[in-house]
């Protein structure tokens, strides 16, 4: 309970500091929402030129986009701020967090209270729900369960990717934008049917890194479509489990990184 009060105090401090710049907070909230709106609009714009992309219709593609959007913004709202770890490591600010009797990860999360991202989550959920309604899904208990678990699995998976890529900073302070290639790049990858990509690039992102199981495979299972790339039908139903190894690896790398961290001394 004591710990919770401390986190609440950290979050409250951030909240008050944000309220002193109200206009900027409103603008941030709107542009956060706008970013997700744009991702979805882009899919509509692309489908103006063609009826199917990679063999999938607009409604089917939007199901994958909506799933991705909801899962990604959930992860972004909770651990997305960890992007800032580079700055904490470079400036030595991380020292302050290490000497407090609390784990570092929750501190980083609560120090930057991301309430400005709430509207995005609502929008992501709306797109996902509408996409579920727009496709003629043959509902079974297994599919209902899958429809509920998939966004959570996606959120865990993206959260793990956020933590993993941010942990690069422990080994390589100037890793700069490399993490974005996997976090935001991963989001863009899973927003479309993976049939649009080819060769080693698809194998790398979809199977080696696991992004193919975030939205594409579960969407196939919900829609009752067979995978044109040849994975069996049950693969879609177990896809959310891909989050578990991702979280395990992220935890391991994070712990190793924290232990390896040496202050800048400045």
**Closest separation in Å from C-beta 49 to another protein:** 4
Answer for which of 96, 129, 140, 198 binds another protein (CB under 8 A) is 198
Residues 6, 7, 42, 229: which binds another protein (CB under 8 A)?
A: 42
Per rule CB under 8 A, is residue 192 in the interface with another protein?
Answer: yes
Nearest to 39 by CA among 74, 66, 58, 60: 66
Using CB under 8 A, pick the residue from 54, 59, 90, 251 that binds another protein. Answer: 54
| All residues at 6 or more sequence positions from 100 whose CB lies less than 8 Å from its CB, including other chains | 107
Q: Residue 178: name the closest of 188, 166, 160 by CA.
A: 166
Binding another protein (rule: CB under 8 A), the pick from 12, 13, 92, 181 is 181
With contacts defined by CB under 8 A, name the span among 21-29, 74-82, 148-156, 249-257 that binds another protein: 21-29
What residues have CB less than 8 Å from 250, skipping those under 6 apart? 159, 160, 161, 163, 164, 167
Asked whether the beta carbons of 94 and 107 are under 8 A apart, the reply is no
Binding another protein by CB under 8 A: which of 122, 142, 144, 178? 178
- The answer to the question of residue 241 lying near another protein (CB under 8 A) is no
Contacting another protein (CB under 8 A), which of 10, 32, 210, 221?
A: 32
Query: Nearest distance from residue 197's CB to another protein, in Å?
Result: 5
Burial class (CB in 10 A: 0-12, 13-18, 19+), 22: exposed
Q: Which of 3, 8, 15, 38 binds another protein (CB under 8 A)?
A: 38
Considering the complex, state which of residue 24 and residue 96 has its C-beta at the smaller distance from another protein: 24
27 vs 133, beta carbon nearer another protein: 27
> According to CB under 8 A, which one of 96, 140, 180, 263 is a site residue for another protein?
180
Cα torsion angle, 136, 138, 143, 144, sign:
positive
Q: Which residues, 6 or more positions from 147, have their beta carbon under 8 angstroms from its beta carbon? A: 132, 222
Q: Is the Cβ of residue 23 or residue 99 nearer to another protein in the bound state?
A: 23
Contacts of 68 (CB under 8 A, 6+ apart): 154, 187, 190, 191, 214, 215
Which residue, 83 or 143, is less far from another protein as judged by CB? 83
Shortest CB 50 distance to another protein, Å: 3
What is the four-CA torsion angle of 52, 56, 58, 63, rounded to 10 degrees? -160
CB 46 → another protein: shortest distance, Å? 5
Secondary structure (3-state) at 227: coil
Interface residues with another protein (CB under 8 A) are: 21, 23-28, 30-32, 34-35, 38, 42, 45-46, 48-54, 172, 174-178, 180-182, 185, 188-189, 192, 195-198, 201
């Amino acid at each position: 309970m004591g710990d919770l009060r401390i986190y609440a105090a950290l979050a409250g401090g951030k909240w008050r500091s944000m309220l002193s710049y109200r206009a900027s907070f409103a603008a941030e909230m709107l542009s956060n929402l706008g970013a997700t709106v744009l991702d979805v609009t882009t899919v509509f714009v692309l489908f103006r030129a063609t009826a199917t992309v990679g063999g999938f219709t607009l409604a089917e593609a939007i199901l994958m986009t909506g799933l991705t959007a909801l899962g990604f913004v959930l992860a972004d709202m909770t651990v997305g701020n960890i992007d800032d770890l580079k700055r904490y490591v470079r400036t030595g600010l991380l020292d302050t967090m290490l000497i407090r009797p609390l784990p570092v990860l929750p501190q980083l999360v609560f120090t930057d209270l991301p309430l400005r991202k709430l509207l995005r989550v609502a929008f992501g959920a709306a797109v996902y729900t509408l996409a579920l309604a727009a496709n003629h899904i043959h509902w079974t208990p297994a599919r209902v369960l899958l429809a509920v678990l998939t966004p959570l699995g996606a959120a865990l998976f993206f959260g793990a990717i956020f933590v993993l890529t941010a942990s690069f900073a422990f080994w390589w302070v100037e890793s700069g934008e490399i993490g974005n290639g996997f976090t935001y790049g991963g989001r863009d990858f899973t927003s479309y049917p993976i049939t649009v990509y080819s060769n080693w690039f698809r194998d790398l992102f979809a199977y080696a890194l696991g992004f193919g199981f975030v939205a594409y495979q579960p969407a196939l299972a919900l829609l009752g479509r067979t995978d044109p790339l040849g994975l069996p039908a049950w693969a879609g139903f177990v896809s959310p489990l891909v989050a578990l190894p991702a979280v395990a690896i992220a935890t391991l790398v994070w712990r190793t990184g924290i232990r390896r961290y040496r202050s800048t001394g400045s």
